Chain A
């Protein structure tokens, strides 16, 4: 019974079926989506931990893998992430009560001066789908806001995003301020104009070329 729910939910997330109303994917039109199935699963006694570990994380891993192999593209990945978020809404009370443990806290934001968010949003959703609690600080995030967030969550890993060559240089002062406020904080960076060499040069602990690489990096540096 439990495995039926988990299998259906995993399928909804993998193929981006958000809820009953969503017409996507066409082969699942008119069927319940991640929203309804999660609610039913919880009512039927499936535990939130099973939902997180055996459906959402499994599905998002497959999504990340397919994306890195160019079998799906950004729209499909975003729809999967939206389906996962629709399920996650029902799990939030269990996270808050401590009934379900996350893998860690991940603070993310687009660096100050930069208003772009598609890469940041995509990665944040993938990280959440990998079992992390995500604190999304938004776009154009000032250094002080990053510092405040790590002071509040001192064990968190920080992710900084930039799309512009003119703003990627702003990452360095953020990294310096965060590491000075909470020494030992791990920081990863990403964004179209960046490279692994640049990440090293500004003192970041890692660089993710794509979301899947970023998740693997996150798992590695947080172990």
Chain B
């Protein structure tokens, strides 16, 4: 059992880990553009979250374009919105075969490594988790997400070759993230949630597992995030070997807990938009209590947002969430539940 898993399972108190950096970016007065292009600002945003919220750990920006950009994809980088990939980089067997696996000097990768190193060096009171995209989600960004969905059946060899190249890069990237001193990595693989369980196993898990096998050990934990999973990919997620699994709001957490081994950390799944961003403080408290009641008694459960909190989440809602967890925990301890 690795350190992080042990820390969660043996903790006397309920743990909360909302995936968030945008509240930090906003609080330090920076723009999304500045944070995703400048490692120092990125670090300051993580630092703000670490210093101001009582969470189990802190995470780096969930930016699902930085790896695609390293491969050469065109990126749209708005001032205050999440970046996105524009167009497609590869479209057939020939272009996939010609695709070169980039070095870690490409695009914004050095800035992301810098942010992670600064966070690992300076945040000592809680674990810092790096972040990267999953192999299928990265392949979809390079091949076009709609097209790859059909291509897994029509040109499976081409897609498997693309997945191998993406995985090769992600293994190198995750090793470099680990070398910065962080305690783990959140691998975001939302596109795999659109697949059936069998396809998720073949086109995602088999590749995620290669990353897990390359970097996960006693002191470095992989958290596999798949917010697209509606309940059909859970088995495939468990098979990845990741010590922690993170689920989106489209799934029933009670069922997830039943399906997953007790020594795997399960995280999720309050709606980041409807609850955190658009809900009232009271709605946040109510949804948080409801989820804690449903998952009560499971030491491997860590309450979280169902995905990365988007920009413009009121800080009061985050505080309402954390206070509710703390208060629920206090009541639980008082009643010895």
Using known A-B contacts A166-B310, A193-B273, determine if residue A75 contacts B150 with beta carbons closer than 8 Å: yes
Q: Does B70 contact A (CB under 8 A)?
A: no
Q: Compute how far the CA of A193 lies from the CA of B249 in the bound complex, rounded to whole angstroms.
A: 11
B192 to chain A, nearest CB (A): 11
Are B232 and A73 within 8 A (Cβ)? yes
CB<8 Å pairs between A and B, sample of 23: A22-B154, A24-B153, A70-B231, A73-B194, A74-B195, A75-B150, A75-B153, A75-B196, A78-B150, A113-B78, A115-B86, A116-B84, A116-B145, A118-B145, A164-B81, A164-B310, A165-B273, A165-B277, A166-B80, A166-B81, A166-B310, A166-B311, A195-B274
Q: Which residues of A contact B (CB under 8 A)?
A: 16, 18, 22-25, 70, 72-76, 78-79, 82, 113-118, 121-122, 164-167, 193, 195, 198
Determine if B85 is an interface residue (Cβ-Cβ < 8 Å). Answer: yes
How far is A121 from B196 in the complex, measured between Cα atoms in Å? 20
Contact of B312 among A76, A122, A165 (CB under 8 A): A165
A115-B85 in contact (CB<8A): yes
Extra contacts, 9 of them, besides A76-B196, A82-B150 (Cβ < 8 A), are A73-B195, A75-B150, A113-B78, A113-B81, A118-B146, A121-B146, A164-B310, A165-B273, A198-B278
Q: How far is the CA of A74 from the CA of B84 in the complex (A)?
A: 21
A78 touching B149 by the CB < 8 A rule? yes
Q: Is the CB of B76 within 8 A of A165?
A: no
Contact with A along B147-166 (1 / 0, CB 8 A): 00110111000000000000
Interface residues of B in 77-136 (CB under 8 A from A): 78, 80-82, 84-86
With a cutoff of 8 Å between Cβ atoms, the chain B residues found around residue A121 in the complex are 146
Contact with A75, one of B81, B86, B199 (Cβ below 8 angstroms): B199
The verdict on B230 contacting chain A, using a C-beta distance below 8 Å, is: yes
CA distance A23 to B232 in the complex (A): 25
CB distance from A118 to the nearest CB of B (A): 5
Residues of B within 8 A of A78 (CB): 146, 149-150
Residues of B close to A116: CB separation below 8 A: 84, 145
Majority-rule SS of A interface residues: loop
Contact-residue bracket for chain B: 20 to 34
B274 near A79 (CB under 8 angstroms)? Answer: no
By beta carbon, the residue of chain B nearest A75 is B149
Which residues on the A side are within 8 Å of B150 (C-beta)? 75, 78-79, 82
Name A24's contact: one of B154, B231, B312 (CB within 8 Å). Answer: B154
Say how far A23's CB is from chain B's closest CB, in angstroms.
Answer: 7
With A70-B232, A74-B195 in contact, do A23 and B82 touch (Cβ < 8 Å)?
no
User: Smallest distance from the beta carbon of B79 to chain A beta carbons, Å?
Assistant: 11
**Residue contact B277 to A75, C-beta cutoff 8 Å:** no
CA distance A117 to B86 in the complex (A): 11
B19 to chain A, nearest CB (A): 14
- Whether B152 lies near A75 (C-beta < 8 A) is yes
Assess the A73–B199 pair: CB atoms within 8 A. yes
Q: Which residues of A contact B196 (CB under 8 A)?
A: 72-73, 75-76
Q: How far is the CB of B137 from chain A (nearest CB, A)?
A: 12
Query: How many angstroms between the C-alpha atoms of A74 and B194 in the bound complex?
Result: 6
> Contact at B82–A166, with CB atoms within 8 Å?
yes
Residues of B within 8 A of A193 (CB): 273-274, 310
Residue of A nearest to B230 (CB): A70
Which residues from chain B contact A115 at a C-beta distance below 8 Å? Answer: 76, 84-86
Q: Identify the closest chain B residue to A82 (Cβ).
A: B150
Shortest Cβ distance from A115 into B: residue:
B84
Query: What's the least CB distance linking A174 to chain B, in Å?
Result: 17
| Pairwise interchain contact A118-B149, C-beta atoms closer than 8 A | yes
Interface centre among A122, A164, A165 (most CB of B within 10 A): A165
Residues of the A chain whose Cβ atoms lie less than 8 Å from the Cβ of B232: 70, 73
Provide the residues of chain B in CB contact with A117, threshold 8 Å: 145-146
B230 surroundings in chain A (CB, below 8 A): 70
The 10 closest A-B pairs by CB, nearest first: A165-B310, A74-B194, A24-B153, A166-B81, A193-B273, A75-B149, A73-B196, A118-B145, A115-B84, A78-B150
A149→B194 CA distance, assembly (Å): 32
Nearest-neighbor residue (CB-CB) of A166 within chain B? B81
Across the interface, name the chain A residue whose C-beta is closest to B310: A165
Task: Return chain A residues, CB-CB under 8 Å to B84.
Answer: 114-116, 164
CA distance A12 to B81 in the complex (A): 42
| Residues from chain B with Cβ under 8 Å of A25 in the complex | 153
Instruction: Give bound CA distance, A180 to B199, whole Å.
Output: 46
A108 to chain B, nearest CB (A): 14
Q: Which residues of the other chain, A, contact B80 by a CB distance below 8 angstroms?
A: 166
CB distance from A19 to the nearest CB of B (A): 10
- Among residues of A, the one whose C-beta sits closest to the C-beta of B87 is A115
Q: For A167, what are the chain B residues with a Cβ–Cβ distance below 8 Å? A: 81
